[in-house]
Structure 1
């Protein structure tokens, strides 16, 4: 990545970040509850970030091993957050009791529960390719800012 890149070199990522900030400030009123569709969209955002972080870690690791390790750790922690959001989705109330359990073996074109489970299963395959079970359960490392 070019250290002197123009500020708009990542316009879609900047737009997504701005959208999340706007939603956080304005679209979820205090005291309101998240619903399944809200959590589904958040899960989609997290899995997208997870894939991006995976690619960044892999591209950064060869020339800058220490930075690549930190990005890989962030990748693992983001997966943990994504898994918790998926679990929360299944604990929220639904209009139909038949769609409360995760069925990743079914096709993604059906009800929302199938879509989130398919997305989560696909992201889980990527995690298992690069992460050990020990990494997933280890406590986060803390680092000091070194400039």
Structure 2
């Protein structure tokens, strides 16, 4: 499934992050003895942080790839847009889950008119607003429409 990675790989942190995500996915799988673990707000907050970090990486890769290889850069920019849509859905799911504490429940609403208050509970909203600002600078409303993919190979 993955390509062979040379021992002198220049991207060890990205490989470690990918390995961490794979490990976490396996640990969430249910077995006969352990029921599957449900997502909670903390889980979605950490996942959202990971997705926004990937957004930054894809954005930089698209910018540096586009001048010498325009078609590849456009594909990376498209991947960036689709990843933003996934990030936005994770943020929405966060707000639909019940709050763990009474204090979190009182302060967990998103406030798009300004940065929300109350860290660490609302760091997901601050992160989402900051990422959304960058996405809106580089994409149009049409780019953000729902997308279906068909492989052309």
Matched ranges for 1:1-147 at <5 A: 7-26=8-27, 28-30=28-30, 31-94=36-99, 95-96=101-102, 97-103=105-111, 105-106=114-115, 110-112=119-121, 114-145=122-153
In 2, the alpha carbon distance for the partners of 1:100 and 1:133 equals 27
Write out per-residue CA displacement over residues 15-39 of structure 1, whole angstroms, 9 at most, x where no aligned residue. Answer: 000000000002x243321110000
Report the aligned-residue RMSD: 1.9
Distance change in 2, residues 1:22/1:103 (3 Å): same
In 2, the alpha carbon distance for the partners of 1:117 and 1:17 equals 24
Distance change in 2, residues 1:136/1:34 (3 Å): same
In 2, the alpha carbon distance for the partners of 1:54 and 1:63 equals 16
Distance change in 2, residues 1:144/1:125 (3 Å): same
Task: Name the structure where helix makes up a greater proportion of residues.
Answer: 1
SS in 2 for 1:9: coil
Unpaired segments ≥5 residues, structure 1? none
In 1, the alpha carbon distance for the partners of 2:120 and 2:84 equals 24
Q: Which runs of 4 or more aligned residues in structure 1 lie more than 6 Å from their structure 2 counterparts after TM superposition? A: none
Asked if 2 retains the 8 angstrom alpha-carbon contact of 1:77 and 1:140, the reply is no
